[in-house]
Amino acid sequence: MKKSTKKQKVVLAYSGGLDTTTLIPWLIENFNYDVICVCINCGQEEELKGLEKKAKDSGAKKLYVVDVVDEMCNEYILPSLQAGAVYEHKYLLGTSLARPLIAKHLVKIAKKEKAVAICHGATGKGNDQIRFELGIRALDEKIKIIAPWRMIDIWTMKSREDEIEYCKKHNIKLSFSNKTSYSRDRNIWHISHEGLELEDVSKEPNYKNLLVLSKTPQNAPNKEKLITLEYKNGIPIKLNKKAMKFSDILRALNKIGGENGIGIVDIVENRVVGMKSRGVYETPGGTILYEAQKQLEELILDRQTLEFKEHVAIKLSQVIYEGKWFSPLRVALTDFVKSTQKYMEGIVKLKLYKGNIIKAGTTSKYSLYNSKLASFTTGDLYNHNDASGFINLFGLPEKVRATIKANEF
């Protein structure tokens, strides 16, 4: 009886970029696997063109392209947006939000294909190795994970230049060179850029070559762009009075924001593994939505809820950044945030001008702002004399402390 010669399968997280292109022949050469490429469509747009041919020309047996754009928008981006989660004051978590979702679908396809392993191209210095592997392990604790950049005994390449040479030796045609090849990650929420001149923090980014979604503020129109966003239960439901699903609103705002120089961030951030790294992020639509959310919450949330929610935002941004999306803490934090969005309903007007977002008026039937209370004109709802007793009680610790100090002399 003949033994089966059927090869084992590996699922490769595939983008069509340099790293994952190199991994196809490398996996075949070193493990003799059948490579099943899986591209999770999180909104990469034109980056998806020609992927099947590229994957198969590189040696892959099959390519899956899984569209998760609406799932990412509704179940990953929206909770983060509603929380106001921003890592280290600048980063809107574009890559961080996509990785657990990608891990989820890699596991699904690995089970469908009966693959013995999942491979990713994240480096041993980066955050993505943590995000991918924590996500995979949370959903399947047994499947083998191959992380080539950490396998220094058989992964001999040390740079993008080495990978390009490896591909050439295996007759794989590349559409980019080491002189123009930033390390990029794109989805519907953002695009990130690393490498080349960005590795020298003393240098200004070469925005002419770098930007994909945006114009620089200097090259943006010399005219304000007014937009109107309508919300219900903390979800944007209309843009400029037109009803649209969340993903379509985000696409439209990416275009509008990009044209007006909104959401370009140059940051040196602290990676999970302990080192600092520099990146440039373009998040035009997301930056507009964060500002709109903030304007609406200013009117509707009471002081204590808004204050506590700021603490939640900081913690949630750390949890997401560290790849712990499937943790009980993340679930608890986003459940709290969801409870604050019940009355988040209203209309936000914003003006966009050369990288700036300018408040142009916000209204809500649940607004706690009352012009009769806030006005300098005395009204029936507020008695100025009530403030005397409040100040006496509110300042009691200061009064007691002053008495103690007086007795010291």
367 part of the active site? no
99 part of the active site? yes
Catalytic residue, chosen from 57, 70, 140, 183, is 183
34 part of the active site? no
302 part of the active site? no
Catalytic residue, chosen from 96, 128, 184, 185, is 128
Catalytic residue, chosen from 34, 96, 99, 160, is 99
3-state secondary structure the chain: CCCCCCCCEEEEECCCCHHHHHHHHHHHHHHCCEEEEEEEECCCHHHHCCHHHHHHHCCCCEEEEEECHHHHHHHHHHHHHHHCCCECCCECCHHHHHHHHHHHHHHHHHHHHCCCEEECCCCCCCCHHHHHHHHHHHHCCCCEEECHHHCCCCCCCCCHHHHHHHHHHCCCCCCCCCCCCCEEEECCCCEEEECHHHHCCCCCCCHHHHCCCCCCHHHCCCCCEEEEEEEECCEEEEECCEECCHHHHHHHHHHHHHHCCCCEEEEEEECCCCCEEEEEEECHHHHHHHHHHHHHHHHHCCHHHHHHHHHHHHHHHHHHHCCCCCCHHHHHHHHHHHHCCCCCCEEEEEEEECCEEEEEEEECCCCCCCHHHHCCCCCCCCCCCHHHHHHHHHCHHHHHHHHHHHHCC
Catalytic residues, which ones?
19, 99, 128, 183
